[in-house]
Structure 1
């Protein structure tokens, strides 16, 4: 029997704690520390680090490609075999082990770092889809925006705690400080390991499917269910349009996540103090954005709220690209003496609000449009489209920065977020919810 009763606060908290735990990986490994460490220290092809940036893009894209190929099938298997928690736990263990091994990636160990990023980011990204598949079972459709927002907000709180510790106690990403900063991998692994324990204690396995041991018969049945879903896509037109919008929007998001702190180091040339402050600004504003837009979604509806987050992203990208011109205008107009890296913090504020809100609202909309008996499978498609977006966005920017430099390549993101707005015009939110519950 499918469990449709509203989850209690403890179960919702347990679900949200996985977001709290895994954000340490996103920030410390992908965004703030290890991406910079890999491109500038491990590869170290100064002065413009184009080879390091390209290899970093390729490693991320390869991991996302693996998720694109496997996520929907794994989701279908989870629904059929009642295996959501089992596969979530597997992805969690692989992420923790491979992240801890990043300690052994020293300058010149280019391919070891490449391999470990592929493995750890594949497992982490699969886990994102797995944990999201629990969302439709946690509350009524109108409540999912707030629940998803709570998860993202706790995620950014976890990122603030974990990365704040690393920035304060492990220091800068430099050759001289390498023996300390190399501990970022083990620290992220232990943080994830411990902080996710409440998830596996309090989050219940949804009563969908019948428990089976994971074997070839489950794979075959998962494949059969997957074919049925693909053939019945016309039954979920609003979900299909939403996935198309997510494809473009998440392409832009992944570019910013993967390259924002690299951009600050290479293009802006910021100081360590500004880097640390930028981290705090982005985390706090992302937390606020996730909560505020989750509440706003319950008032305005998911479609309109999601569109507002995309417009906010376009403004953030314009602020990033024109930060030097904006700084000169502020200094001249108001008699100030601001530095570019200081004004860049304003772009970080807009990016943080956009980051927290767009991902939270998008995930909640998928939950609203997904039937319970195919929740993991459809969130597998959500994983497919988000990671396909990552490949498209990150590899595209990687090639563009190779040709034009990182600053010129960032304008590509404006086109991505603008394209994400177009499919939203055809979405009928009430129709999408009704289709999920038919």
Structure 2
């Protein structure tokens, strides 16, 4: 038995690691079924009903959540933007508590069940209750981000540095499979809605509820298999005062201060935040663009999103193969060029035609998985040895807690012009700025600055 295998077995058992994978399987249903596919169009239809209009007749209509006049079509993008903005403040607190708590499993359960419960409560999202829908989504999306921070904090405790990427990749793969499987079931329900005697809106509502039940049900597996571990105190921070929150913030402050010694790592992280904001916005709002601007039905939209889910596997493999030949940095830059092309094509897509939209969805799927996978692997080379947990924690907070400008810009663009085409083309700024920011990173010097050896091809 190899030393690596012995060390891994000392950290965790295969049973525990499989249990950890299942939380990705559980929560990915929320991302695919709720955020990516059903909630945007459904909540928009609820808001339009509250405004007393329907579809094309809504150009001048407004709703007034909290007394603020907005277009019904801007409600979901604004809700996404607000929820992600709020996580900027929530996730550091959650990360601080998780780092200093010996009860991570209980924290995971708390946030997972709050999020799943809020999702399942959308069963009552009927009539013109758009405020109920927006409020439940805020709770669910913030809880989702918080639970993922706790979930990821288990990774350094489950696998050593040599095996961590493999274990992390298995979890990511499980997530795509779980999210895709439930979405497949919901696709079948959409296609059979007439046989089931249900309207499109009813299928959407029950699909959203099914994601909450799936999330809650499969969360029990990691809760049964994961085990809590003693808190490991960072010697540079000290033993602490005994307060989980206070000690956790001291740890977070120490991590942030250490970034000053690695400015190029910080520069890469800023570039990532910019282009990732664009990627996350496209994922969250693609279905709303397809239904509201292109006039496509769920019979076209949902199978396309399902196709994207599974093509992300092929995309990750394809761009990974390319990275081995020309380097990860160059491949990632190429992926941002492809994202820019995708946005331009989306702007010019003809309305009411399924084939061009499906073809564009295939392009999104191929570039999606690869751009996310290469971003993480490239960032891992910019981390000083021995600080992987701290820096990946900051990476996760950045990923989940700062992708709010894209939905905000999308909502503002639509609110101002009442054109979804203008709203989608406005997202170009994230990919263009992100491309040039990433291009400006001297990646070989950045890796050396972090104390690591650069690969031959970058």
TM range (shorter): 0.7 to 0.9
RMSD across aligned positions (CA) = 3.5
Report deviation, 1:37: 0.6
The more displaced of 400-409 and 307-316 is: 307-316
3-state SS, counterpart of residue 165 of structure 1: helix
Higher relative contact order (CA 8 A, sep 6+): 1
3-state SS, counterpart of residue 182 of structure 1: helix
Report deviation, 1:423: 3.6
Report deviation, 1:350: 1.1
Find the aligned partners of 1:99 and 1:372 in 2 and give their Cα distance: 40
Report deviation, 1:283: 1.3
Alignment partner, residue 409 of structure 2: 396
Report deviation, 1:105: 1.0
Identify unmatched segments of 5+ residues in structure 1: 328-338
- Name the TM-score, length of structure 2 as normaliser: 0.79
Q: Is it true that 1:46 corresponds to 2:69 in the alignment?
A: no
- Name the TM-score, length of structure 1 as normaliser: 0.83
Find the aligned partners of 1:389 and 1:27 in 2 and give their Cα distance: 20
Post-superposition CA distance 1:34-71 (Å, at most 9, x none): 22110023544433567233221222222212210122
3-state SS, counterpart of residue 318 of structure 1: helix
Alignment partner, residue 153 of structure 1: 173
Taking a change above 3 Å as real, the CA distance of residues 206 and 286 of structure 1, as seen in their structure-2 partners, is farther
Preserved contact between residue 71 and residue 381 of structure 1 (Cα < 8 Å): no
Alignment partner, residue 442 of structure 2: 426
Preserved contact between residue 276 and residue 399 of structure 2 (Cα < 8 Å): yes
Find the aligned partners of 1:146 and 1:311 in 2 and give their Cα distance: 28
Q: In the TM superposition, what are the counterparts of 1:18-417 in structure 2 within 5 Å? A: 18-44=23-49, 45-48=53-56, 51-136=71-156, 147-169=167-189, 176-203=199-226, 209=232, 217-293=243-319, 302-324=328-350, 340-367=353-380, 369-370=382-383, 377-404=390-417, 405-417=419-431
Report deviation, 1:221: 1.0
Alignment partner, residue 331 of structure 1: none
The more displaced of 13-22 and 198-207 is: 198-207
Report deviation, 1:353: 1.9
Preserved contact between residue 141 and residue 433 of structure 1 (Cα < 8 Å): no
Preserved contact between residue 88 and residue 402 of structure 2 (Cα < 8 Å): no
Find the aligned partners of 1:206 and 1:161 in 2 and give their Cα distance: 33
Find the aligned partners of 1:123 and 1:19 in 2 and give their Cα distance: 14
Report deviation, 1:433: 5.8
Report deviation, 1:435: 6.8
Preserved contact between residue 91 and residue 127 of structure 1 (Cα < 8 Å): yes
User: Which has the larger Rg?
Assistant: 2
Taking a change above 3 Å as real, the CA distance of residues 252 and 239 of structure 1, as seen in their structure-2 partners, is same
Find the aligned partners of 1:231 and 1:282 in 2 and give their Cα distance: 39
Report deviation, 1:224: 1.7
Report deviation, 1:376: 5.7
